Amino acid sequence: MIQGTASHVGKSIITAGLCRIFAEEGYKVAPFKSQNMSLNSFVTESGAEIARAQELQARAAGIKPSSFMNPVLLKPKDEGKCEVILLGKSIGDFSAQDYFQKIYGKALCVIRESLQKLSEEFELVIIEGAGSPAEVNLRRWDLCNMKVAQIADAPVLLVADIDRGGALASLVGTLALLTWKERERIKGFIINKFRGDFELLKSALTFLQERTGKKVVGVLPYFESLYLDEEDTLRDFSSFEGEVAVIRLPYLSNFTDFDPLQQVTSLKWVGKPEELDGVKIIIIPGTRNTIKDLRWIGERGFAEKIREKAGEGVAILGICGGYQMLGEKIFDLEGIESDMKKIEGLSLLPVVTYFRRRKITSQVRAEVVKDIPLFPGLRGKELYGYEIHAGRVEIKAQTAPLLFKRGENLVPDGAVSKKGTIFGTHLHGLFHNPEVISALMRYLGENPCDYNYQELVEESLSKLAQSMRENLDIEYIYSLLGVK
């Protein structure tokens, strides 16, 4: 099990790297994270919703992702509540108190069953912890760290991020706050994200081992994981100049949709309406609370600015919740997202949205059946992605540009404005299709690039595994697992 001294120290990436190393050695290996809190989710072939980090780890292991790899997913909402997803299906919104009192026991059973299922199917399971195991106020309700290590009887490696500073204190302090049995379970430390002079670090490593009696398993150099989904943090790719702007919504979700796009063009993440001046494309991304973000857009002055730019011919793209905002109205008659029964949209597309309690979660193949001027040359192509939404969109007086293939079912999706410069769709992962990137580059007047994001992800995983082989005591890790 890989645990950390804090969030964002690199647990997800190190877990993915170990999955790739063992897979390359011929082992049947699977990732596991008992409970993940993330707004970046993925949909499996069976329609289960899991965190994207576990999808990446499954890819590193060379296997298909399943809900057993992330049996509990928490998606933060407003007013201190989270949507709780068990084994890929939503069971409702709960406050922290309600979750601990009403769901904790059920979640623990699901975690045990999932871990047992993976243990029966695979030779090795690499478990990722969450946050820090030293949160003494949450120890009673632990579902992520030492509780899971105990259930799995797993040796633990503790990771610290030296790039942010205080790594030695974090390791020593974390160890000090654990119980005696928990300290016994920790079999070594990994220092992550190092970019200094290793000779200057040696004395610190000696001190660390002497002070704690724990082995330093290795020091990993800073790895620029541009093509890997690293935990639930929006990378700072933003620039003051750029032809493409993404509105940074308060409840922004699935921002990994734009990782491929950020590699080929200057992308602005904007929080003020005036920052939209001078751009050629405005993107309204997905959101965990469409209605509240739509109100925020109006209150901040974005709505007026977006309509102004649309009138000037600037292209507008809406994805999932952003697509629904571009319509005429959104109805929430069942109070799924708010107590507002109806809210006016931006009225830039002829669609109306109705929220339903049952979410649609599905992988899809999407055939482009109509010209989309924002993406010239895509008609007739088949795109791949997934959809996660509670809203049902009614398209008025036109043919949808996309035809979703959900298994055997064909479902129209998306809408294009009369002038063709405004387009919306529920398709997450749109820019992970190389032909979409090339089409957008053509729209921007640039030469289409030979750019395959999925291939770059695979290359990055292999490079990550090689870096870990070179800088970790792999033999020691194998000895902990009892394998050669």
Instruction: Give residues with Cβ within 8 angstroms of 111, minimum separation 6.
Output: 34, 35, 71, 72, 143, 148, 151
Query: What residue numbers bound the domain in which 391 lies?
Result: 244-443
Residue 411 lies in a domain: yes
* 74 shares a domain with 49: yes
Give the separation between CA 462 and CA 459, rounded to whole angstroms. 5
CA atoms within 13 A on the CB side of 328: 8
* 107 shares a domain with 41: yes
CB 226 within 8 A of CB 460: yes
* 269 shares a domain with 187: no
At residue 227, the pLDDT reads: 72
Instruction: Give, for 84, the enclosing helix (H) or strand (E).
Output: strand 81-86
- Is pTM, for the whole model, over 0.85? yes
Q: Based on the structure, what is the number of domains in the chain?
A: 2
pLDDT band at residue 339 under the 50/70/90 scheme: confident
pLDDT digits (tens, 9 = 90+) for 230-261: 555 555 545 557 899 999 999 999 988 998 88
Token output for 100: 């601990």
Q: How many CB atoms lie within 10 A of CB 31?
A: 29
Mean pLDDT of 31-35: 97
pLDDT digits (tens, 9 = 90+) for 350-386: 999 999 989 999 999 999 999 999 999 999 999 999 9
* 222 shares a domain with 262: no
Q: CATH number, domain at 178?
A: 3.40.50.300
* 219 shares a domain with 85: yes
At residue 383, the pLDDT reads: 96
At residue 244, the pLDDT reads: 94
Q: CATH number, domain at 262?
A: 3.40.50.880
For residue 418, pLDDT beyond 80: yes
Instruction: Give residues with Cβ within 8 angstroms of 374, minimum separation 6.
Output: 281, 315, 317, 420, 421, 423, 440, 443
Give the separation between CA 454 and CA 377, rounded to whole angstroms. 21
Three-point CA angle 421, 445, 241, nearest 5°? 85
Instruction: Give, for 218, the enclosing helix (H) or strand (E).
Output: strand 216-221
Sign of CA dihedral 217, 219, 225, 230: positive
Q: Which residue has the higher pLDDT, 232 or 402?
A: 402
Instruction: Give, for 193, the enclosing helix (H) or strand (E).
Output: strand 186-194
For residue 345, pLDDT beyond 90: yes
* 254 shares a domain with 166: no
pLDDT band at residue 397 under the 50/70/90 scheme: low
For residue 273, pLDDT beyond 90: yes
CB 72 within 8 A of CB 111: yes
Mean pLDDT of 309-320: 96
Q: How many CB atoms lie within 10 A of CB 311?
A: 10
Active site residues: 320, 428
Average per-residue pLDDT for the chain: 92
Residue 43 lies in a domain: yes
* 278 shares a domain with 213: no
Residue 238 lies in a domain: no
At residue 235, the pLDDT reads: 56
For residue 298, pLDDT beyond 90: yes
At residue 447, the pLDDT reads: 80
Residue 288 lies in a domain: yes
pLDDT digits (tens, 9 = 90+) for 189-204: 999 999 989 999 999 9
